Structure 1
Amino acid sequence: MARTRVSHPIFARMFERVSVRMDEAGVAEHRRRLLAGLSGRVVEVGAGNGRNFPHYPAEVTEVLAVEPERRLRDAAHRAAADVPVPITVVDGVADALPAADGDTDAVVLSLVLCSVPDQAAALAEARRVLRPGGQLRFLEHVRAERPGGLRRTQRALDATIWPLLCGGCHTGRDTVGAIEAAGFLVVALDRYRFPETRIPVPAAPHALGTAVKPT
C-alpha cells in the first residue's frame, strides 16, 4: 500500500506547544496509565512529538514509533534521544505499518484514531502486527457517551471546521466500538472527560483502555 504524505505544519507547531501544557495539566498521568505494565516490543502509532516516550517502563525492550508529520517526527527524534528505552522513530502511516505480521507485543494508539482517514484500516494493521494475545493500548478522543447536545455539537464540528483546524481530528468517533468491530477484546476501559469543565468541550470525552488480540 502506498504511503500517503501527511503535512499539517501549522497544527504541528501549535500541538508542540499545547501538548506540553496539556501534560502539565494532567495528561501526563493518563499517558503513564496508558503505558504502565508494558514489556517487550512495542509499536506506537502516531507518536507525535514523543510526549509518551518518558513514560515507557524499563521492561519495554524496543519501541518502533511511527509518525507521518515531518515537524512532529523531528521533535520525536529529539525526544527519543532523552529516554532510556530504545526508541526508533520512522516515517509511516497507521494503515501501512512498517512491521512484520505478529511481530509485536503491544501496539499503542494515543490520540491518533481521531484523525486517521480510516479507523477500520488502521485497526486491521494493528491487529496484523500484534502477536496472538498481544495488547492494544489506546487513549483517544471519543464520542460522548449519552445522546444529546454534546454529541450533536461533536457531529456539527466534525462535519465542518474541527478537522481543518486540528490536523484531521474528529471529536465524535465511536472508537471503542471500532476497536471491538476490528476483532479485539476490550479487557479494561476508563471513560473520562479532560478537561473537566462545567460545560464540556467537544474534545473532552476520552477513553483509555486495553484490548487484546484473541489467541
Structure 2
Amino acid sequence: MSFYEDRLLPYVINLAMRNRTLVPYREHALSAAEGRVLEIGIGSGLNLPFYTPHVREILGLEPSPRLLAMAQRAAKSTRTPVSLIERSAEAIPVNDASIDTVVTTWTLCSIPAAQRALEEMRRVLRPGGQLLFVEHGLSPDANVRQWQDRLTPIWRRIGGNCHLNRPIWTLIETAGFRITGINTGYAKGPKPMTFMYEGRALV
C-alpha cells in the first residue's frame, strides 16, 4: 500500500463524502433500515446519524483502519450499539442469514471483487432481508459512458479503486437480488461522476 493510499486517501474520502448534496440520499435510504444492520464500507461513519430507532444494532465493515478510527469516534454519538470490523466485503465474517438489512452507500464502485461482495451480502441476509443501496455508476447516456470509460483508469488511481462505469443495477441482480424499487438520475456535479442508483432489493 502506497503512502497516498494509507495516509492521505482516507482523509480525501472523508472530505469528499461530506458533500451536503449527498445528505438527502442518505436520509431517504437509511430511513428504511431496520433490525440488525450490516453497513458495507462504513468509512468514517457519516451514515450513523441517519439511522432511526427501528435499527437495534449496526455492524460496520471497513478495510481502512484510519477510516475505522474516524467511525469509532462517530459511533460515540449514537445510541444504537455499533460494532466495527476491519475487513473487505468479499469475505464477510458474519453468520449466514443473520442480518436484517445490508446498507451500501457509494461503496460498490471501489470493492475489488464487487460481484463476490454482493454474493456475500446475500449470504448474510435472512430470508426476506433487504439491501438498501445508494451508488454511482454506469450512465445510460452513450456520450457520458464514453467519458466514464476514458476516465476510470486514472480515477481508480486517485480515488481508491473507484470505478465510474460499474453497472450497479446489473451487478445487484446478477448476485441474486430482486430489486423492488430504484431511482436513478444525475446528482449535482460532473456527469461521469454523478449518475446515481438509489433503491431497495430483497433476497
Selected match of 1:96 from 91, 98, 108:
91
1:38 deviates by 1.9
Counterpart in the other structure of 1:179: 172
Q: Deviations over 1:109-148 (max 9, x none)?
A: 11110001111100010000000110001110110012x2
1:17 deviates by 2.0
Distance in 2 separating the partners of 1:153 and 1:77 = 37
1:8 deviates by 4.0
Q: Which amino acid aligns with 1:169?
A: C
Distance in 2 separating the partners of 1:8 and 1:118 = 20
Selected match of 1:149 from 137, 143, 157:
143
**Segments of 4+ in structure 1 off by > 3 A?**
none
Q: % of aligned pairs identical?
A: 35
Q: Which amino acid aligns with 2:150?
A: A
Distance in 1 separating the partners of 2:60 and 2:111 = 16
TM-score (norm 1): 0.89
Q: Which amino acid aligns with 1:78?
A: R
Selected match of 2:14 from 13, 16, 41:
16
Q: 2:123 aligns to what SS in structure 1?
A: helix
8 Å CA contact retained: 1:77, 1:89: yes
Q: Which amino acid aligns with 1:16?
A: N
8 Å CA contact retained: 2:132, 2:200: yes
Q: Which amino acid aligns with 1:192?
A: G
Higher helix share: 2
Q: Deviations over 1:91-124 (max 9, x none)?
A: 1111111210000001111111000111110001
1:73 correspondence with 2:56: no
CA-atom RMSD in angstroms:
1.1
Distance in 1 separating the partners of 2:199 and 2:7 = 30
Runs (5+) with no aligned partner, structure 2: none
Distance in 2 separating the partners of 1:167 and 1:81 = 27
8 Å CA contact retained: 2:186, 2:195: yes
Counterpart in the other structure of 1:210: 200
Larger mean Cα displacement after TM superposition, 7-16 or 170-179: 7-16
Runs (5+) with no aligned partner, structure 1: 1-6
Larger mean Cα displacement after TM superposition, 83-92 or 160-169: 83-92
Q: Deviations over 1:140-188 (max 9, x none)?
A: 0110012x21100101111x21000001100110011110011100001
Distance in 1 separating the partners of 2:57 and 2:85 = 13
Q: Which amino acid aligns with 1:49?
A: S
Q: 1:202 aligns to what SS in structure 2?
A: helix
Q: 1:183 aligns to what SS in structure 2?
A: coil
Distance in 2 separating the partners of 1:82 and 1:98 = 25
8 Å CA contact retained: 2:33, 2:132: no
1:120 correspondence with 2:118: no
